[in-house]
Amino acid sequence: MGRTLAAFLLFAGGAVVQIAAPPDQFFDAAGVRIRYVEQGVGTPVILMHGYTGTVDRQWMANGVFAELAKNHRVIAFDLRGHGKSDKPRDPKEYGEEMARDAVRLLDHLQISRAHIVGYSLGAIVAARMVSLAPERMISAAFIGRHPQRPLSPKEVEEMDASVRELEGNMPFRSLAVGVQPPGSKPLTDDEIRRLVAPLVAANDVRALAAMFRGFSTLVIEDKALSASRVPMIEIIGTEDPNHPAALELQKAHPEIATFIVKGAQHGGEQGILRRPEAVARLREFLSTTR
């Protein structure tokens, strides 16, 4: 798995803060049962987490959900293939269908338009909505990632390698290797298995492999981004592996506002969602965009 794909994944994102969570609710998304939670009043905000993440781990444990709920009606859902949502193993059930789930959730809640906020993989899903259902969006915020422009041959190769790994006998091996500090002693197979055991236990790896197989329909063309009238922002840290590509996107699409947090990483204790300046910028964007 290359650095870009590895950045979808989070090993434990710092200490978990125990907070009172709103009750789980579920809705039917074209035959797939999706879990969501909501809290607060005001303009609706939809939150979408990252790869292998959940509502609890990537929006609640860091306090972002509660912070946004002070001024907005916040709704967060477990992406299909993740958390307490169903985990189909057919590639056709992923890709664009993940973005359609957000639209289906709006329909279920009888919400005409909402701010759409995505972190990591969720940011790619949010970006797909820009061309799929712009009329349902007040704005789009991409955190720790950006719209998935057409895949390069290298990205296709990395995606295929990730699928083979997930379907093999040592899922997440390349991730375990990729997150090691430069110059570290090579990990043994037993060390890798111990390191990735929590991820393997918490996920349906076959469903994740299917998600990668269906990933291509999450791509958004540059012309669609340029033509969009949806206000967009990307919030990313300088220490995120996705940062260089974010700068390239900024040059290609100056219409997408960019907020860069010095020293912020993709996940972990210095992850972008744990940086108060990043959350403050997001709140400002949501409050001033109509």
Residue 12's pLDDT is: 39
Query: Which stretch of 18-22, 181-185, 220-224, 264-268 has the lowest confidence by average pLDDT?
Result: 18-22
Give the number of C-alpha atoms closer than 13 A to the C-alpha of residue 147, restricted to the C-beta side: 28
Quickly count: other Cβ atoms within 10 Å of residue 19's Cβ.
Answer: 12
Residue (of 73, 128, 71) closest to 103 by Cα position: 128
- Virtual CA dihedral for 118, 35, 130, 13, nearest 10 degrees? 10
The mean pLDDT of the chain is 91
Strands (E), the chain: 25-29, 32-39, 44-48, 73-77, 114-119, 137-143, 232-237, 257-261
The DSSP code sequence of 50-94 is -TT--HIIIIITTSHHHHHTTTSEEEEEPPTTSTTS-----GGGS
User: Rounded CA gap, 266 and 221, in Å?
Assistant: 25
Q: What is the pTM of this model?
A: 0.92
Structural contact between residues 272 and 235, judged by C-beta atoms closer than 8 angstroms: yes
pLDDT in tens, 176-221: 877 676 677 899 999 999 989 999 999 999 999 999 999 999 999 9
Q: Which domains does the chain have, with CATH numbers?
A: 12-150+215-288 (3.40.50.1820)
pLDDT value for 20: 67
Question: CA–CA separation, 22 vs 59, rounded Å?
Answer: 12
Regarding beta strands 232-237 and 257-261, do their DSSP bridges make them parallel or antiparallel, or are they unpaired?
Answer: parallel
CA-based angle 88:46:227, to the nearest 5? 95
Q: How far is it, in rounded angstroms, from Cα 171 to Cα 227?
A: 39
Report the pLDDT averaged over residues 51-58: 95
pLDDT for the residue 257: 97
Helix, strand or coil for residue 223?
A: helix
pLDDT greater than 60 at residue 32: yes
User: Which pLDDT score is estimated for 179?
Assistant: 67
Question: Residue 79's pLDDT is what?
Answer: 98
Residue range 258-267: average pLDDT?
Answer: 95
Q: Is 50 exceeded by the pLDDT of residue 150?
A: yes
Return the percentage of the chain with pLDDT > 90, whole number.
82
Regarding predicted confidence, which is higher, 182 or 144?
144
Pairing of strands 114-119, 137-143: parallel
Q: Is the per-residue pLDDT at 148 higher than 60? A: yes
Q: Measure the N-to-C terminal CA separation of the chain; round to a whole number of Å.
A: 39
55 pLDDT higher than 80: yes
Helix (H, G, I), strand (E, B) or coil at 115: strand
Question: What's the one-letter identity of residue 124?
Answer: I
Q: Does 99 have pLDDT greater than 60?
A: yes
How far is CA 115 from each of CA 134, 228, 280, rounded to the nearest angstrom? 11, 15, 16
